[in-house]
Each structure stands twice: as structure tokens, then as C-alpha cells.
Structure 1
């Protein structure tokens, strides 16, 4: 976002240096040659002053007065929180959800071994309880907690003509038992009301798993 927002205040040289630094961090080259650990110097202008609760500090710095801007698409289009692990993602999500007004609704997935050739033995080895604890890219967790007003992001392409693609941001408007009503707040269909039905998904990176399973 900093790269996209380069203006007269940020010279092209500074943008270039910042982009190269970001790439060096991602590639593991920042801090010199290393074997997975290195000390990295971070510029003061992109640091958030630490407090007792770092998650709260990050959320409040990125989304000030969140509850007052839930239904404003531009508010979410201009800001995002990136996290290095699923655990941190869940900590951020739990914090935001706990500070939104309204009643929480819990959705539980139905997980099962896929009925495909060569997968019959797996169905006898892996229990449903084991499948429930699997967390992976492209799938919501077994426990999905939501509230009306919660900002969410699609993990899959559902209907590209309606703008429902992987990465599309929405705000929850109604939580039914088998369908979720939401408002699109990113892309070319901002403001559209959409309905997300219950559906069956498989891991997007199936090569990481020794078994083929599905989550509804």
C-alpha cells in the first residue's frame, strides 16, 4: 500500500528503496547472510509504538474507530493487516470480533474423507475429530465465528461475474443457518448485496496432505 500511495511526499528513490527492503525481508536476505535467523533494522517511520497488548495496538492503529466505519467500503479498501502465521491471523480476528457489537454466531463444518480412489484406507485411519483440527490455506476453520458487521474476505472464487472472487472483501449483514448475506466492499461490485451459501471445499494446496478430504 505504501508503494501504491507514492506521491509528491514520497520520492521515487524512497519508494524504490522501500520496495527493495521489503523484498529482501521476504527473501530472507535482510540482515546479511543467515541460516534462518537475523536481526533486521526497521525504520522508525513504519514502527508502531509498543504497548502491553500488541494485537490491540496494531488493530487500533490500522482501523481507528472501527465500529463507526463498518459500512464504509473505502475504509477497508485503503487498509489491511498482514500476518505471518495462521495463529496471528486468528488472534487479530478474535480481537476484532470481540469488540464488535451484537451477538456472535458459531458455524461448525462437516468434514469427511473424500470418496475417491485410493482414499478408502484413509477413511479408516483418520477420525472426524482429526479432520476438524486441520487448518490450511483456502479453507475456513472447523469453528467459524461471525457477527453482523464483521469484515470478511473470500478464500475462493465463487461467482466472478458478481465479483465474488478470492480476496474479495465483504461485510456481514445477516447470518442465517445455511446462508450468509453480505455487502461487497471491494472490487468493481462495491455496494452489491450477495448471498454466500453452504458449500463443500477441498484444500487448495492438496499436495501438502497425505489424504484427500473435504470440508462443508
Structure 2
């Protein structure tokens, strides 16, 4: 088992993101937090074999309000429960159209550098990048927007581009009209995600 504690500095909005991650075989578990000037977020994530999301619980809170999402998947079928108080200024939380998410294997928590790890590991994109191979994979993600915790289908594409000097790789990411070149380390954890966050520290947990 590999256990890591990682800190990123986020931007737009400015924030501090942290995650404690345990990688075991072909699964992971993690807990993390994000703090901005207007809200705080905490999450707990577990995957099954193949780094397929089983459950993610997310809690956001600001002055006078809080909201919680419990999102789970079983054999490609997603379900969610939500709760909150004083959050009427936010849009609806949870899954508006569960059928649209059918077949998605991963959650993608908005503004969270950690949830890029699962698809990268499942398709061994770090090794492909280090070999200089261009491997392109299309995904259907259960994307969780923050801080409202609404869940939507998000088609995304990852392409291995080449090696990174620290034993990791560069992975091109595309979602709609957004594109970024992600630098991930040998464990598939984000080092630099332009416009989203840059790692400022990492330790063995």
C-alpha cells in the first residue's frame, strides 16, 4: 500500500486543497478538504477494483449554510442523497438525471486535483506517457459542481503526451472547450493542473 498526504494551492478561486490518499492494488481511498474565502469543503472517497468509484461523500459550508451530498455507484448505476440548511441561494443539489450517468465509472469533484487520478491509473497513462506513447481515452464522468454539489454527466478525454522529469507523465485533458496539460507523478497524483492548482507539498503518510 502507498499512502500519501498532498497539498495543492488552488486558483480561481484562491484556495488550499489537501488530500490523504491510500493506494492499494487497483483501488484507492481518500479524504480531503478545500478552503476558500467563501466556503469550506470536505470529502471522503472510496473506489473498488479498477479504481471505479463506489462512493463519495461531500460536505460544503459557508456563513449561515451547509450542504451535504452522498453519491454512490453500483454496476454503473448512480444514486444520491442530499441534505442542507440555509442553502436556498444555491441551485439544486444531487443528480437531476440519473439515467444520463449510467455507465460512468468515475466521480469528478469540481476543483479537486485528486479525482483525475482514477482514470489515469485505470488506463496506465503514466507508463504510456513515460514510453512516449500517445494513448487517448474517452470517459463519461459524474461531475460534481461546487459548492452547490449538483451532479452532471461530463464527457472528458485524456491523452498521454510524454514523460515528466520526476518519473511521472504529462496528460492532456479535454472537457468541452476546456483544455489543460496535466503533470502527474508516478502514482498518478496531480503535480500541476494549469488554471486549477499546483502542488506545494507531498509526504508519505
- What TM-score range do you get, normalising by the shorter chain? under 0.3
Under a length normalisation based on structure 1, what TM-score does the superposition of the two structures give? 0.25
When normalised by structure 2's length, the TM-score is 0.25
Larger radius of gyration: 1
Structure in which a larger fraction of residues adopt strand: 2
Work out which structure has the larger RCO, using CA pairs closer than 8 Å and 6 or more positions apart in sequence.
Answer: 2
Higher helix share: 1
